[in-house]
Structure 1
Amino acid sequence: MTFIDHLDHLVLTCVDLAATKRFYVEVLQMQVETFGEGRTALKFGNQKINIHVRGGEFEPKAHLPVPGSLDLCFIAAVPLDDVISHLKRCNWPILEGPVERTGAVQKIRSVYVRDPDLNLIEISEPI
């Protein structure tokens, strides 16, 4: 038995806060939240991504906070074909997919994109 239940948040280090917010809000349709002393987070479901800008990270921080080092997989709330259509409307390039992958609890169908810092973003639906 494990004592970990779920992920609450993770921290993404970016170079350009405005470009990062634009991608995650317009392309991935997350909500921006300001908290603490002007900190920024991106909310989706019951989770969030806290944003650090390179050189202005909040303490404590990762040992080597580097933009572009994340590889994240999100499960879509809508069919993947709707996600693909939305990405095309946003003129956001799909690197790969749709392809079948193995998710945490079942097989998934995924597409891959990159955010402005070149983090690899996988968007999936259960199959």
Structure 2
Amino acid sequence: MPLIDHLDHLVLTCTDPEATRHFYTEVMQMQLETFGAGRLAFKFGHQKINLHVRGAEFEPKAHLPVPGALDLCFIASVPLAEVIAHLERCRWPIVEGPVERTGATQKIRSVYVRDPDLNLIEISELI
């Protein structure tokens, strides 16, 4: 049996928490969660993204926490055509796609966008 089962959460470092909140709750449609001493997280499925603000990170933290260093891929719960239509309604630019890629378990079709800190966000459907 492998040692690791699944990802629980990851930490995203941002420069503008309000712009980041808007992107992940409105554009990506994740649920905002407040926990601990006013910390923010974005929940989706059985995972979440905890938020750190550059210069005010919680300890312990990554050795070099910097905004814009992540490249994340999310599997959509709806067809990619619906994702594209939603991004268009939000006026959020697609930087590439749709394109076929190799996912963790099978082939995927993806579009790429950037969040407010220019992290690369891939939104995919299984094919």
**TM-score band, normalised by shorter chain:** over 0.9
Instruction: Count residues with an aligned counterpart.
Output: 127
Using the aligned pairs only, state the percent identity. Answer: 80
* Other-structure match for 1:66: 66
Matched, 1:37 2:34: no
* Other-structure match for 2:78: 78
* Other-structure match for 1:50: 50
- In structure 1, runs of 5+ residues without a counterpart are none
* Other-structure match for 1:117: 117
Write the distance in 1 (CA, Å) between the matches of 2:124 and 2:32. Answer: 22
Write the distance in 2 (CA, Å) between the matches of 1:23 and 1:75. Answer: 17
* Other-structure match for 1:88: 88
Write the distance in 2 (CA, Å) between the matches of 1:2 and 1:102. Answer: 22
Displacement, 1:2?
1.7
Displacement, 1:58?
0.1
User: Taking structure 2 as the reference length, what is the TM-score of the superposition?
Assistant: 0.99
Displacement, 1:111?
0.1
SS in structure 2 of the partner of residue 93 of structure 1:
coil
* Other-structure match for 2:26: 26
SS in structure 2 of the partner of residue 118 of structure 1:
coil
User: Taking structure 1 as the reference length, what is the TM-score of the superposition?
Assistant: 0.99
User: Which 4+ stretches in 1 moved above 3 angstroms?
Assistant: none
Displacement, 1:76?
0.1
Write the distance in 1 (CA, Å) between the matches of 2:37 and 2:28. Answer: 25
Q: Which amino acid aligns with 2:99?
A: V
